[in-house]
């Protein structure tokens, strides 16, 4: 299954990180050993009249970055012995001893200082990881709350409703809702906030509140979008916009009245004839234009009609080759599942997109709403 992300707090992820850290430490220790051998060889064979002991500082510093202090102290002692053995023999014994003591002291100072730097870096990394984990835990809790507050489809005679939202990150910027205006009329809305993640998700509650307050007071979908467009301009900046599709169903009269604010045209499948229609009549993206105008469109429905509302995360999801899922693939899934309940259909659509993506990461929030006329 695609779209599954490894939990950074999981034991498997921690083991993976530990393995990578051990591998890096091992490679650095190989570099340390090779550097010490190279200096000792050069000091012994190539340079006869001078000491290259100062070059041992580099492998000692590298060791201090990845090893505990006792190991670095032992390495400093080894380098001191190597310098004493392979260094020039022209010095008097007492001078050689003094030089050796000074070198050992220098090595130890370097080892202590670099070890302290490494420890300080480790403490900072631990603090960063702690803050990151706390932030991720907060996002996880917020994601759980977001999923719990998503509305359940109402039970309305003559129509079957279902919806599913799958964020690309922990929090999503997509939105859907249902408003039962009367016993015979139900409104269905789907929206996509620009961007994704926490920033986009913060706008969702404002959308929900504004819609719930005004859905029953205004005359129809276009008036509701117009009113919400004004609200968005007041609470967002010019860089944030929303696409929305607002549908009003009357299953008794078998009519659908809708208005669109720049959203993906929903797909209407007439199962009786196999015909497919895109509800393309609509207005501009919401939250941008100073005097945006929206209009209502009314169509007649037939028994067995299936209306699928979706966001970009469905049709624009790419596979490993860069091909998009596309509207044609969505049509095929709907036709193959037309006899299934609406709840099964939304799950099957999400599964089909996930299977199509393969190992490709989910690029955008995925939301599907299905309305089946009985």
pLDDT digits (tens, 9 = 90+) for 142-176: 666 666 667 889 999 999 999 998 888 776 778 89
The string of pLDDT tens digits covering residues 119-134 is: 888 888 888 888 877 7
pLDDT at 38: 86
Q: What is the pLDDT of residues 169-203, one digit of tens each?
A: 776 778 899 988 888 899 999 998 876 556 666 67
Distance between CA atoms of residues 60 and 345, nearest Å: 64
Residue 63 token pair? 């060791």
- pTM of the model as a whole: 0.69
pLDDT tens for 74-95 read: 988 898 888 888 876 656 777 7
For the chain, the domains span 11-143, 150-373
What pLDDT is stored for residue 354 in this prediction?
93
Which numeric CATH code is attached to 150-373?
3.60.40.10
Torsional sign, CA 58, 60, 62, 64: negative
Distance between CA atoms of residues 70 and 72, nearest Å = 5
What does the pLDDT read at residue 169?
Answer: 75
The residue among 35 and 324 whose pLDDT is bigger is: 324
The three-class DSSP label of residue 189 is: strand
Burial of 280 (0-12, 13-18, 19+ CB in 10 A): exposed
The pLDDT score that the predictor gives to residue 46 is: 67
CB 271 within 8 A of CB 308: no
pLDDT for residue 1: 44
Mean model confidence pLDDT for the chain: 84
């Amino acid at each position: 299954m695609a779209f599954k992300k490894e939990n950074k707090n999981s034991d498997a992820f921690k083991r993976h990180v530990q393995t990578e850290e051990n591998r890096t430490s091992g490679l650095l220790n190989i570099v340390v050993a090779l550097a010490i051998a190279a200096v000792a060889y050069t000091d012994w064979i190539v340079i006869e009249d001078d000491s290259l002991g100062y070059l041992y500082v580099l492998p000692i510093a590298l060791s201090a970055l990845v090893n505990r202090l006792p190991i670095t102290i032992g390495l400093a002692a080894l380098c001191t012995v190597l310098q004493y053995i392979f260094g020039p023999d022209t010095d008097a014994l007492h001078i050689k001893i003094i030089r050796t003591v000074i070198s050992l002291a220098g090595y130890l100072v370097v080892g202590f200082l670099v070890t302290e730097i490494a420890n300080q870096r480790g403490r900072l990394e631990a603090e960063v990881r702690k803050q990151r984990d706390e932030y991720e835990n907060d996002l996880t809790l917020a994601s759980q709350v977001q999923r719990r507050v998503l509305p359940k489809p109402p039970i309305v005679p003559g129509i079957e409703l279902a919806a599913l939202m799958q964020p690309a990150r922990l929090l999503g910027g997509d939105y859907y809702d249902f408003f039962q205006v009367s016993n015979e009329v139900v409104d269905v809305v789907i929206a996509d906030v620009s961007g994704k993640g926490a920033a986009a998700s913060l706008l969702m509650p404002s959308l929900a509140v504004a819609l719930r307050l005004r859905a029953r007071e205004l005359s129809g979908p276009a008036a509701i979008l117009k009113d919400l467009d004004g609200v968005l301009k007041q609470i967002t900046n010019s860089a944030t916009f929303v696409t929305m599709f607002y549908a009003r169903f009357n299953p008794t009269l078998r009519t659908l009245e809708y208005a669109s604010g720049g959203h993906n045209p929903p797909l209407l499948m007439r199962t009786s004839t196999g015909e497919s229609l895109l509800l393309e009549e609509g207005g501009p993206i919401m939250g941008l234009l100073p005097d945006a105008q929206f209009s209502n469109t009314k169509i007649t429905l037939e028994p067995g009609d299936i209306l699928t509302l979706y966001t970009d995360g469905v049709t624009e999801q790419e596979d490993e080759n860069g091909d998009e899922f596309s509207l044609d693939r969505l049509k095929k899934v709907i036709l193959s599942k037309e006899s299934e309940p609406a709840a099964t259909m939304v799950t099957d659509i999400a599964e089909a997109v996930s299977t199509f993506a393969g190992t490709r990461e989910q690029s955008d929030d995925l939301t599907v709403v299905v309305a089946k006329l009985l």
